[in-house]
Chains A and B, each alone.
Chain A
Amino acid sequence: MSTKDPRSAQEKVELLQGTLDLLILRTLVLGRAHGHAIAQAIERNSDDVLQVEQGSLYPALHRLIKRGWISAEEGTSENNRRAKFYRLTAKGRKQLALETTKWDKFARAIAGVLRPADQESES
C-alpha cells in the first residue's frame, strides 16, 4: 500500500501493519462473505474513516488462507452470481480472539500515552 491517492490522503486514516487482517477476521465473524462485501462492511463499520484500497483486500485474504485462518469456497451470491466466499476457520476464530486482546491492550497503551488524564479519571 505504498501508492496513495494524493487527493484523499488527508481524509483517510492509514491502516497500521496487520490491522487489515484483524478487520477481515472481525468482519467474517458474522458469517461467510465475498470480497466486495468484506470491503464494504469494513468501510461502513468504521464510518468510512478507514478507507481501504479495496484491491489490497485480496493479497490479505490469500495470506490468511495460507495461514489457515480463513477458508475459501465457491458459492452463489444474492443475485444468483457465482462468487468466492470466505469463511472464518476454527483457527481463525482463536486468532481473532488473540489479536483482539492484543489490539485492546495496544490501543489502551497508546491512549494512555496520548491522554493520561482520561486514563486516570477512568481508573
Chain B
Amino acid sequence: MNRKRLEEEMERDFREHIERETEENIERGMTPGEARHAAHRKFGNVARLKEETRSVWTWRWLDELSQDLRYAFRTLRKNRSFAAVAVLSLALGIGANTAIFSLIDSLLLRPLPVPHPEQLVTLDLWNGGRGQASITYPIFDETRSRNKVFAQTFAWGGHDFQTLIDGETVHVQGALASGDYFTGLGVPAIIGRTFTPNDDKLGGGPNGPVAVISDAFWARQFQRNPAAVGRAITLDQVQFTIIGVMPGNFFGAEPGTAPEIWAPLLLAERLGEGGCIRSRSCWFLISMGRMKPGISAQAAAAQLRVVSPELMKAAEPVDLNMQFRKRFLGMQMRSQPGPAGFSSLRQRFSNPLLILMILVGVVLLIACANMANLLIARSAARHRETAVRLAIGAGRWRLIRQLLTESVLISAIGAALGLAFAEWSVRLLVGFMQLRRSPISLDVNPDWRVLAFTASAAILTGLLFGLFPALQATRLGINIGLKQRAQNVVGAPDRFGVGRVLLGGQVALSVLLVAGSGLFAGSLLNLWTLNPGFNPRNLLLIGIDTDKRPEKGAAFGAIYSRLLNRVNSFPGVKSASLLLITPTTNFEWDDDVSLPGGPEIPPPLRDTMVNLVGPRYFETMQTPLLTGREFNEHDSATAEKVGIISEKAARSWFGGKSPIGEHIQFEKSVIRIIAVSGDAKYLSLREPDPLALYLCYLQNDTPGGSLSFVIRSDAGIASIYPAFRTAVKQIVPGTPIGEVTTMEDQVKESLGQERLMASLSIFFGVLALLLTCIGLYGILSYSVARRQAEIGLRVAIGASRSNVIWLVLRDTLWHVVVGAGVGVGAVVATSRFVASFLYGVKPNDPWTLALAVAALAAVAFGAAWIPARRAARLDPMVALRDE
C-alpha cells in the first residue's frame, strides 16, 4: 500500500546506520576510507538485507489478503443462498455492461488490426455539419494527387462479385480497392502478394486483372491449398488471376464487413460498376490516408483544408443540377484521426449503443444498491461478531478491509460469470443488428479493453456496494454491539437508515428503467400495428440480378414480362408483380416533380419518391387504388408515358381537382396520370407517407436496375422457390437469384433498431424489477427476523394480524412511494433524450409512467407479502421464548 514510503524509510535507515558507524570508526582513528569500508563490512550485504526486510512486509500484506480471502470464501459458503443471489445479480449486471461495452469497443474503439493504426485518417466531405463519407472517383483522384501529407491515400467501394461456384452463379461480398489500399493499411498477404498501383490500371496491369482473396474464401473454395495463388477465377464474367491470400484477421478498413475478394479499383470499368470511374456523380467510394511519418493529424487536416477548394472545383459534378453543384462546392475534404477505420454501422448504432450503455449502467447501479442492502442486512446480523472482534483488539481499518475483500470477491466471481454471460449475449445483440443486405461480422472477442473494463467494473462495484455497509458495520461502539440483543424488544426501525435510502434509490432507478422500456416497447408496438399502406402478410419477395444481362431497352423489360407470366401461373399464387425498390429498405429514388404549364409547386412539395412497378402491383400489395386503373402490358416503351400518384401527391399538386388525365413533368419526361393510389410507406415505417409516383417498368429507359418479384400467395417461400428457380434457369440461364424473403420479415428487419432497444430495455426493466424484488424481500425478511420479539410482544398484548402486517409494510411502503416519486421525476427529466427513438408516444407518456409505477408497486407488494405474512403468523410464545 505505502510500499514506496516503507522503501524510502528503509533506505534512509540503512544509510543513517552506516553513516553513524563510519563516524564512530573515524573517532576511533581510522581514515575516512577505512572507516566507511569497515562500517559496510560490519553492516553486511545491503542488497540481501533489503530483500530480507522487504519479504517481511510482503508476507504481511499477502498473509492478510489470503486470510481475508479464506475467511470470505468460508462466509460465502456458509450463506449459500445469499452468495447465489449476490453473484447472480452481479453477473447479470456486470455481464450486461460487458456485452454492451464490447459492442462499443469493437464498433467504436478498437483500432484496426494493422501496423501503426494511429497514422490512419478517415476522409470525408464536410460542410460544417455532418460529414458525408462516400465520395466519387474524381474526388478521390484529386485528393490523392493534390495532398502532400499522406504516404498513401487509398479508397475502396463494396462490390458484390458474381462468380461461378459448383456450377451455380453466386454472390461473393468483396471490394474494389485502389492500388495503395494494401500498402496504406500496411498488411501483406500471407501467401502470394497484394496488388499495387501498378495493377490498378484501366483494363488491368501487366498481369491482367488480378484479385486478392480472404482467408475465409481460401479455406472455403480452395481448402487452403497454396496452389490457389496463380489460379484463374471468373468474376462478373471477367477472367481474374488470384495473386494473394490475406491473413485471417484482415477485413480491410471497415469493421463490420467481411469482404472476401478484393480487385483493383480501375477494373470497375470492366465489372458491374461500369461508368463509375469516369462519372463525377457516382458516390461509391470510401477513402482513407496514412500520414507520412512526422506529420501530425492537425497538420494533415490543415493542409487538406488548404487544397480543398481547388480539388473540389476539379472534381465538380458538372452533370448535376446547379443547386447541387453549389452545395457541393461549399463542402471541403476533411481528414480526421481514424485508427478504428471507417464504419457505416457507427452512425446507425452509436446512439442506440450509448443509450443502452446508460441503461445497463443503471442496472448495475441497482444491482449495487441491492448488494449494499443485502450486506447491511447481513452485517446487522453479524453485529455481535463485529463487536467481539473490535473488543479483542481488531483495528477498524483492518475489519473494513476484510469486509471489502469479501464484497470484491463476490463481485469478482460475479464478473467472471458475467463475462460468460456477455460472451453469449453479445452474439445475440449482433444478431439483432443484422441486415441481410449487408451482413455484419464484428470481432466481439473480448480484447484487453473489454477485460480491463470488466475487471474495473468488478472492483468498482465491489467497493461501491461494500464500502458503505463496511463503514456502518464497524462504526457501532462495542457496547451497543454486544448489548444489541437486548434492544430487540424495543426495535426502533431505522427509518432513515442507509438501507432505506438505498431502497428508495433502487425503486427510483427501477421506475426509470421500466418506464424507458415501456416507451421503447410502446414505440415498437405502434410501428408494428401501423398500417403501412400495404399488407405485408403472405407477401413473398424474390430478387434476381439482371445487371449484367446483355439485353437493353425493350428486350430487357421483356425478360421480366416472361418471368412474371410464369410466376403468375404457379399454383398457389394469387397475384404477382414487380418492383424496383422494396418499401422499408431505406433505399430511395427521388427527384423533383413539376406541372408543365401549370402553377409552380412550392419547394417542399416537389421532392417525390419514385418506384418502378409492374401490372397488378396495387392488387398484389393490397394498396387501394382510389381512382383509375393499374398498369398493364400496353403501357410499353412506345406508348404514352403514364404514371400513378399517391393520394398525398394528388392533394398536394392538384388540390381537390381530380388528377386523372393531368400531366406532370418528371426528369425529362411528361407523364400522364392514370390513377391515384392510397398512401404507403416508402423509406421506412418511421417516415411520414411520402409524395409518391409509380411508373411502369416497361416504360423505363434508365439502363440497368434489377427488379424484384413481389408475390401474393398463401403457399410460402418453400413451395414457390423451386418453381421460380426452374423458371429463371429456363428463361434467363446464368442469372443469379438475389434476395428471397417475405415482406413481413423485411418489415421486421427494418425495425431492427427499435426491436433492439425494445427487447433489451424490457429485459433490463424486468431485471431491475427482479433485483428490487430480491432487495426488498431481503430487507423485510431481515427486519421481521430482528423484530421477532417485538412483534411477538405486540401479538401477545392483542395486536391483530392486519395490525402486524401493516406494521411490517408501513415504512417499506413509504420508501417505495418516495422512490417512485423520485423515479417519475427522473423520467420526466431525462426521457426527452430518447425522443428520437420513439414513435407515436410522447417522452412523458402518462400511461407509460403509470404502468411503470404500477408494475413497481405490484413487485414491491409481492416482495413484502411473504415476510409480512410470516410476521403475522408468529406464535407469540415461540417468538418471546426465543429471547
Q: How far is the CA of A59 from the CA of B44 in the complex (A)?
A: 12
Contact B56 A53, beta carbon cutoff 8 Å: no
A36, chain B: closest CB distance, angstroms: 4
* Binary flags per residue of A32-74, CB closer than 8 Å to B gives 1, else 0: 0011100100000000000001111011001100100000000
Of the candidates B12, B20, B46, B53, the one whose C-beta lies within 8 Å of that of A62 is B53
- A-side interface mostly: helix
Q: How far is the CA of A59 from the CA of B56 in the complex (A)?
A: 7
A42, chain B: closest CB distance, angstroms: 13
Q: How far is the CA of A34 from the CA of B13 in the complex (A)?
A: 9
B43 at the interface (CB under 8 A from A): yes
Q: Give the contacts of A76-106 with B (CB-CB under 8 A).
A: 81, 83-84
Q: How far is the CA of A32 from the CA of B42 in the complex (A)?
A: 23
Q: How far is the CA of A58 from the CA of B49 in the complex (A)?
A: 8
B401, chain A: closest CB distance, angstroms: 16
Contact B17 A54, beta carbon cutoff 8 Å: yes
Residues of B within 8 A of A123 (CB): none
A5 at the interface (CB under 8 A from B): yes
Complex: chain A residue closest to B61, CB-CB: A66
* Binary flags per residue of B42-57, CB closer than 8 Å to A gives 1, else 0: 1111101100110111
B148 at the interface (CB under 8 A from A): no
Of the candidates A53, A55, A63, the one whose C-beta lies within 8 Å of that of B14 is A55
A10 at the interface (CB under 8 A from B): no
Q: How far is the CA of A52 from the CA of B14 in the complex (A)?
A: 15
Contact B60 A53, beta carbon cutoff 8 Å: no
- Contacts A53-B43, A59-B52 given; indicate if A66 touches B60 (C-beta within 8 A): yes
Residues of A within 8 A of B55 (CB): 59
- Contacts A62-B57, A66-B60 given; indicate if A55 touches B45 (C-beta within 8 A): yes
A17 at the interface (CB under 8 A from B): no
Contact A34 B16, beta carbon cutoff 8 Å: yes
Residues of B within 8 A of A121 (CB): none
B21 at the interface (CB under 8 A from A): yes
User: In the complex, how many residue pairs between chain A and chain B have their CB atoms under 8 Å apart?
Assistant: 56
Q: How far is the CA of A84 from the CA of B30 in the complex (A)?
A: 27
- Contacts A55-B45, A56-B49, A59-B49 given; indicate if A66 touches B56 (C-beta within 8 A): yes
Complex: chain B residue closest to A84, CB-CB: B13
Q: How far is the CA of A36 from the CA of B49 in the complex (A)?
A: 15
- Contacts A53-B42, A55-B45 given; indicate if A36 touches B56 (C-beta within 8 A): no
B227, chain A: closest CB distance, angstroms: 66
Contact A53 B44, beta carbon cutoff 8 Å: yes
Given contacts A3-B45, A54-B17, 5 further A-B contacts (CB under 8 A): A54-B42, A58-B49, A59-B53, A62-B53, A83-B16
Contact B41 A5, beta carbon cutoff 8 Å: yes
Contact A55 B20, beta carbon cutoff 8 Å: no
Q: How far is the CA of A53 from the CA of B44 in the complex (A)?
A: 6
B9 at the interface (CB under 8 A from A): yes
Complex: chain A residue closest to B42, CB-CB: A54
B10 at the interface (CB under 8 A from A): yes
Contact A58 B53, beta carbon cutoff 8 Å: yes
Residues of B within 8 A of A36 (CB): 16-17, 20-21
Interface residues, chain B, with chain A CB atoms under 8 Å away: 9-10, 12-14, 16-17, 20-21, 41-46, 48-49, 52-53, 55-57, 60
Residues of A within 8 A of B46 (CB): 55
A53, chain B: closest CB distance, angstroms: 4
Residues of B within 8 A of A62 (CB): 53, 56-57
Band of interface residues on A: 10 to 19
Q: How far is the CA of A56 from the CA of B53 in the complex (A)?
A: 9
Complex: chain B residue closest to A66, CB-CB: B60
Q: How far is the CA of A120 from the CA of B57 in the complex (A)?
A: 48
Contact A58 B16, beta carbon cutoff 8 Å: no
Residues of B within 8 A of A54 (CB): 17, 21, 42-44
Contact A58 B13, beta carbon cutoff 8 Å: yes
Q: How far is the CA of A50 from the CA of B49 in the complex (A)?
A: 19
Of the candidates A3, A35, A53, A56, the one whose C-beta lies within 8 Å of that of B13 is A35
Contact A84 B9, beta carbon cutoff 8 Å: yes
Contact B49 A55, beta carbon cutoff 8 Å: yes
B38, chain A: closest CB distance, angstroms: 11
A77, chain B: closest CB distance, angstroms: 9
- Contacts A36-B17, A66-B60, A83-B16 given; indicate if A58 touches B10 (C-beta within 8 A): yes
- Contacts A36-B21, A63-B56 given; indicate if A58 touches B45 (C-beta within 8 A): no
**9 closest cross-chain pairs (CB), A and B:** A55-B44, A59-B52, A55-B49, A62-B56, A53-B44, A55-B43, A36-B20, A59-B53, A36-B17
B534, chain A: closest CB distance, angstroms: 81
Contact A56 B44, beta carbon cutoff 8 Å: yes
Residues of A within 8 A of B20 (CB): 36
- Contacts A54-B44, A58-B10 given; indicate if A35 touches B49 (C-beta within 8 A): no
Q: How far is the CA of A34 from the CA of B15 in the complex (A)?
A: 13
- Residue in A53, A55, A58, A66 whose Cβ sees the most chain B Cβ within 10 Å: A55
B632, chain A: closest CB distance, angstroms: 98
Residues of A within 8 A of B12 (CB): 84
Complex: chain A residue closest to B60, CB-CB: A66
Can you offer 11 A-B residue contacts whose CB atoms are under 8 A? A36-B20, A53-B44, A54-B17, A55-B46, A58-B10, A58-B14, A58-B52, A62-B57, A83-B13, A84-B12, A84-B13
Residues of A within 8 A of B53 (CB): 58-59, 62
Residues of B within 8 A of A81 (CB): 16
Q: How far is the CA of A81 from the CA of B12 in the complex (A)?
A: 11
Q: How far is the CA of A55 from the CA of B60 in the complex (A)?
A: 21
- Residue in B13, B46, B49, B57 whose Cβ sees the most chain A Cβ within 10 Å: B13
Q: How far is the CA of A62 from the CA of B12 in the complex (A)?
A: 14
Q: How far is the CA of A84 from the CA of B52 in the complex (A)?
A: 19
B156, chain A: closest CB distance, angstroms: 64
Q: How far is the CA of A63 from the CA of B53 in the complex (A)?
A: 8
Q: How far is the CA of A36 from the CA of B22 in the complex (A)?
A: 11
Q: How far is the CA of A35 from the CA of B11 in the complex (A)?
A: 13
Residues of B within 8 A of A58 (CB): 10, 13-14, 49, 52-53
Q: How far is the CA of A99 from the CA of B41 in the complex (A)?
A: 31
Q: How far is the CA of A84 from the CA of B15 in the complex (A)?
A: 12
Q: Give the contacts of A1-47 with B (CB-CB under 8 A).
A: 3, 5, 34-36, 39
Residues of B within 8 A of A39 (CB): 17
A79, chain B: closest CB distance, angstroms: 9
Complex: chain B residue closest to A2, CB-CB: B48
Residues of B within 8 A of A84 (CB): 9, 12-13, 16
Residues of B within 8 A of A66 (CB): 56-57, 60
A92, chain B: closest CB distance, angstroms: 15
Residues of B within 8 A of A59 (CB): 49, 52-53, 55-56
Q: How far is the CA of A3 from the CA of B56 in the complex (A)?
A: 20
A72, chain B: closest CB distance, angstroms: 8
- Residue in A62, A63, A83, A84 whose Cβ sees the most chain B Cβ within 10 Å: A62
A51, chain B: closest CB distance, angstroms: 9
Residues of A within 8 A of B48 (CB): 3
A120, chain B: closest CB distance, angstroms: 42
Q: How far is the CA of A84 from the CA of B16 in the complex (A)?
A: 9
Complex: chain B residue closest to A53, CB-CB: B44
A69, chain B: closest CB distance, angstroms: 13
B376, chain A: closest CB distance, angstroms: 31
Q: How far is the CA of A34 from the CA of B9 in the complex (A)?
A: 13
Complex: chain A residue closest to B49, CB-CB: A55
Complex: chain B residue closest to A83, CB-CB: B16
Q: How far is the CA of A102 from the CA of B188 in the complex (A)?
A: 77
Residues of B within 8 A of A5 (CB): 41
A52, chain B: closest CB distance, angstroms: 9
Complex: chain A residue closest to B39, CB-CB: A54
Q: How far is the CA of A83 from the CA of B42 in the complex (A)?
A: 20
Residues of A within 8 A of B21 (CB): 36, 54
Residues of B within 8 A of A35 (CB): 13, 16-17
Q: How far is the CA of A36 from the CA of B42 in the complex (A)?
A: 11
B37, chain A: closest CB distance, angstroms: 13
